[in-house]
Structure 1
Amino acid sequence: MSAHDPRSDVLAAAAALVEAFGRHDTEAYFAAFAPDATFLFHTHGEPLRSRAAYEQLWATWEREDGFRVLSCESTDQHVQLLGADVAVFTHQVRTTVRAGGEDDTVEERETIVLHHRPGGRWVAVHEHLSPAPPS
């Protein structure tokens, strides 16, 4: 039996996702999600039922608003393992974005559900973002 703790692999997968998002690397960011991943954002009125739907929304933000992620900082990270192939990653995020020619920093809470795929890769299958409560 291996002494390896899969939490470190989940944290590494989550870190890669957050880092790609924070540098507006859309190719690496969207590659961290399964094609059938789902998304719930407090800033968008309806659930997104696939990675492609999110990619289309993102492209609309870029085209219509000049949207760009400038930075993203993840804190208060927690991994909950559910068996050998499902993990729930929660954290606080502080993100600075540019839209409409103005920069804005937002504080949010995020849950990302990851699934362990053949070959050892953890892939995000669901993301839920909500505003952080006032401090």
Structure 2
Amino acid sequence: MTDHTTAVLSAADALLTAFGRHDTKAYFDAFAPSATFIFHNLDRILSTRAAYEAEWALWESRDGFRVKACRSTNRALQLVGDVAIFTHAVETDLVIGGQDVVNHERETIVFARQPDGQWLAVHEHLSQLLT
């Protein structure tokens, strides 16, 4: 395993750990400010991290949204220079509207190496996993 592979997988694990414990600060810090987001449950692309943060806050206030846990399986990583494409299946335990929900999704997270060597997520694409 190369140093870059280890660093990207570490960045992905940190992002997923923060998401799984609903640690919004650590979760959003894992994304570049210019990151973009495509989610199957939204009718539009979120074109910045701030737009996603606003949507997340809306879900919390309007829907009682809370992440309880997530599990990542079928992980793959492709390195292309200073870009890394991380794909996986993710099972997420949520609370929405007071109800426990389990989502089964497939996700692609694109990371880019920053000038300081840190790997930040610059794009996330989430789709439903058909079972």
Q: Per-residue displacement from partner, 1:68-94 (whole Å, max 9, x unpaired)? A: 0000101111110011x1000000000
Identity of aligned residues (%): 56
Taking structure 1 as the reference length, what is the TM-score of the superposition? 0.94
Aligned residue-pair number: 131
Cα distance, 1:5 vs structure 2: 3.1
Q: SS where residue 104 of structure 1 aligns?
A: strand
Pairing 1:110-121 to 2, within 5 Å after superposition: 110-121=107-118
Distance across 2 between alignment mates of 1:119 and 1:47? 28
Higher CA-based Rg: 1
Q: SS where residue 44 of structure 2 aligns?
A: coil
Taking structure 2 as the reference length, what is the TM-score of the superposition? 0.97
Q: How big is the alpha-carbon RMSD for the aligned residues of Structure 1 and Structure 2?
A: 1.0
Aligned pair partner of 1:89 in 75, 86, 91: 86
Q: SS where residue 10 of structure 2 aligns?
A: helix
Distance across 2 between alignment mates of 1:117 and 1:91? 23
Q: SS where residue 22 of structure 2 aligns?
A: coil
Correspondence for 2:36: 38
Q: Which portions of structure 1, spanning 4 or more consecutive aligned residues, are displaced by more than 3 angstroms? A: none
